Amino acid sequence: MKALQLTALAGAMMFAACAQAQTTPSPAPETQFFGLLDWTVRYSTKQNAAGDAKAELTDGVLTGSRVGVRGRHAAGGMTAVYWAEAGFAPDTGTSGQGGRLFGRQLYAGLEGDAGTLLAGRQYTVSHDILSRFEAMAFANNSIVGYQGGNYTGLRYDNTVKYLKNVGPVSIQLGHTFGETAGSTATSSADALGAVYADGPLSAGLAYQQTKNVSSAFFGAVTAANASTQKVIGGGMTYQLGAAKLYLGYTGSKLDVADYKNNVLYVGTNVQATESLQVIATVQADKLNHAGVDGNRLTSALMADYFLDKTTDVYVEVDYTKVKDGWVTLANNTALGSGNLFGNASRTGIMAGMRIKF
């Protein structure tokens, strides 16, 4: 059964539960204005074809800067929820996500005993689940987080998601409407996933299929070779004393464009002191395209010190090396700051500050 059918069934169950719900006193609506500023000074090698280095003030390594409003209130025995979140560049003030007003997330929905149903622009099921098993959550900085939306889709417009907790298992189903006249399948996406969490252990799986992918995957997929992308992955984390251990896998395949990537990632987040955490991650990516293999190895180490609950400062160092077929893929302006300009490696160091409000 497709994720769309399951999502529709879940919605029907929720509304049925709503109709049968007992009338209870309604709590006051909760509305919260929130935001985050994350900027960093970065120095990195090989920032053009000549191999020159560059220093810059740019967005943070882990989390993109944003501002938004979120809320919830009782509605007919259920809870209505909404989220509107805008991303921006902290160094210039310009809007992120291609200049969208609410480019990070914009959704509304209902939650109750039967589960949660959300509709709008939101994180994909595969990204939401798989990012939990990478120590930097597929970092905001494209040099460190080479996966990001290229494999998981990151965020999709026109998406309906259903979420349900069953004991220690949380289930997610998603459908993205292609909105193409005459075809419900064109440009659509379906996904499902589940996470088990109990005590120190968390483990999960996700599967996602997106049709007619174009102008994506590091800019290598154009409209002329639009493809169906299938993503399957999983991982686990384990809390071992002060250290949280991460292990994950993502497989991505595009049919017409003929790209196949298998990525293994390991990492840790160590709470060294009450205020200091140390994060380490390594990602190994094997590419196959047109019969040619390629390899990418990315590693990063970060020390993050919290001045209080809302403010932290950090330093980070990362190293990326590509070989064979990955050299071509990484030599692409669509990668933005991740473009290696034909070079086979890059080293970066940064210091930043993050403020939540």
> Residue 215: beta bridge partners?
none
Q: How far is CA 118 from CA 19, 107, 108, 315, in A?
A: 19, 6, 6, 37
Reduced to 3 states (helix: H, G, I; strand: E, B; else coil), residue 135 is coil
Q: What's the pLDDT at 17?
A: 46
Q: What's the pLDDT at 21?
A: 45
Reduced to 3 states (helix: H, G, I; strand: E, B; else coil), residue 28 is coil
Q: What's the pLDDT at 186?
A: 96
Rounded Cα gap, residues 317 and 346, in angstroms:
11
Q: pLDDT per residue over 166-175, tens digit each? A: 999 999 999 9
> pTM of the full predicted structure?
0.91
Rounded Cα gap, residues 247 and 133, in angstroms:
6
Q: What's the pLDDT at 9?
A: 46
Reduced to 3 states (helix: H, G, I; strand: E, B; else coil), residue 11 is helix
Q: pLDDT per residue over 31-53, tens digit each? A: 999 999 999 999 999 999 999 99
Domain ranges of the chain: 3-23+31-356
Fold of the domain spanning 3-23+31-356: Porin (2.40.160)
Q: What is the mean pLDDT of residues 88-94?
A: 94
Q: What's the pLDDT at 27?
A: 61
**Is the separation of the CB atoms in 236 and 200 below 8 Å?**
no
